[in-house]
Amino acid sequence: MSRFRVGYYLACAALLVMVFGGLVTAPITSAMSDTRLDLSSPSPSQKSPETEEITLTCQYPVLSSYAGTYFAYSIDLQYKGGKEPRVFDLRAKVPAGFNCSITPGYAEGTEIAAIRLDPQKTYPDTIKVTVRPYVWLVPEPGEYPVIVEVSSGTIKNSIELKAIVTAKYDLGLEPASGLLNTNATAGEDNYFIISITNTGSADLEKVNFSSKITGRPIGWSITFAPEKLDVLPVGGTREIQVNIKPAQKTIAGDYMITMSAEPESKYAFGSLDIRLTVLTPTIWGWVGVGIVVLVIAGLAVMFMRLGRR
């Protein structure tokens, strides 16, 4: 039994010597060291290379204007991740009824179809994309998408822009006869026909008429028939009868009359200037002739009487 105890004590002592001597802790320390190496970040030489890409940005991607005008977008292009400059093709997709031009951001009138970009530049290059409706078409109010694409081989990107077309309100006035002058007799009704046309892209409602005479003579009357139009559709034309009646005692001569038309919304306005020549009434002409005849007759009688003496 004593021999067993002695062996037990010797084994315990040997174990303690191994622990304190590092024979057991060395594997543990080595494992912890290996773990720290696995968790450490890779060296710079092990980092993956930057991906080649082209980016497109536009500060104002949505523009709004009335029908018939153009839309101009400034787009910044930047090529990253490459080692050498590359040439990128430029293309724009516009809705039916529109055309498009692409120019450098700094040069007007020079259209381009491609651009050379250097990945080493720290600032972007700028292009200008201008979208216009065809001159013979007036686009309907609404939203129209515009897509600009840039590509060079497998490197490509695109940006979607938007053009918002609002209604255009406009109207025109012109004389039905094509003449910008007419005659009128003082104190009498004198009729003149004008044509009004809706040249905008939206209907005009409650169109009213007005007039102004240069010098503002007193006693004149200018009326329109009809006095107003409830609705004037797009492209519609109506003839308006204007009755110009100068005052009875108006001095003969030329006068300027401005006729205007404007819807109640005041979105549109049209005007027309007419030169009006005022004539004296026919009766006053005969009165003048009669006075001249009486004067001549009086002089004849006077000469006859003086001759007898």
Is the same domain home to 189 and 153? no
Residue with more model confidence, 215 or 188: 188
Question: Average pLDDT for residues 31-56, to the nearest whole number?
Answer: 59
Tell me the pLDDT band of 34, cut-offs 50, 70 and 90: very low
pLDDT score of 24 more than 50: no
Task: Tell whether the model's pLDDT for residue 25 goes beyond 70.
Answer: no
Tokens of 167: 């209604």
Q: Which range of residues forms the domain containing residue 203?
A: 171-284
Q: How confident is the model at residue 4 (pLDDT cuts 50, 70, 90)?
A: low
* In a shared domain, residues 141 and 57: yes
Residue-by-residue DSSP string for 221-288: EEEEESSEEEEE-TT-EEEEEEEEE--TTPPSEEEEEEEEEEETT-S--EEEEEEEEEE--HHHHHHH
Other residues' Cβ atoms within 10 Å of the Cβ of residue 82: 18
On whether the pTM is more than 0.85, the answer is: no
Q: Is residue 9 part of a domain?
A: no
Q: Does the pLDDT value for residue 47 go beyond 50?
A: no
- Does residue 246 lie within any of the structural domains? yes
The strand pairing partners of 155, in sequence order, are: 152
**Is residue 294 assigned to a domain?**
no
258 within domain boundaries: yes
**Beta strands at 62-66 and 155-166: parallel, antiparallel or unpaired:** parallel
Q: Report residue 29's pLDDT band, with 50, 70 and 90 as the boundaries.
A: very low
- Highest average pLDDT, of 31-35, 141-145, 246-250, comes from 141-145
Number of domains in the chain: 2
Q: What is the CA radius of gyration of the chain?
A: 47
In a domain, 71, yes or no: yes
pLDDT for residue 37 is more than 50: no
The verdict on residue 14 lying in a domain is: no
| Residue 39, pLDDT above cutoff 50 | no
Q: What is the pLDDT of residue 21?
A: 54
Mean pLDDT of the chain: 84
Neighbours of 14 (CB within 10 A): 10
More confident residue, 6 or 187: 187
Residues 197 and 96 in one domain: no
Residues 94, 151 within the same domain: yes
Tell me which of 119, 141, 166 is where a domain ends.
166
Q: Is the domain of 245 the same as that of 268?
A: yes
User: What pLDDT was estimated at residue 299?
Assistant: 76
Domain boundary among 117, 132, 166: 166
Q: Which of 166, 197, 218 is the last residue of a domain?
A: 166
Per-residue pLDDT tens over the stretch 124-159 = 999 999 999 998 888 889 999 999 999 999 999 999
pLDDT digits (tens, 9 = 90+) for 62-84: 999 988 899 999 999 999 999 99
We report the CATH number of the domain holding residue 145 as: 2.60.40.10
Instruction: For residues 266 and 214, state if they share a domain.
Output: yes
- Higher pLDDT: 25 or 127? It is 127
Question: How far is the CA of 92 from the CAs of 108, 163, 202, in angstroms?
Answer: 18, 13, 29
Q: Is residue 301 part of a domain?
A: no
Residue 194 lies in a domain: yes
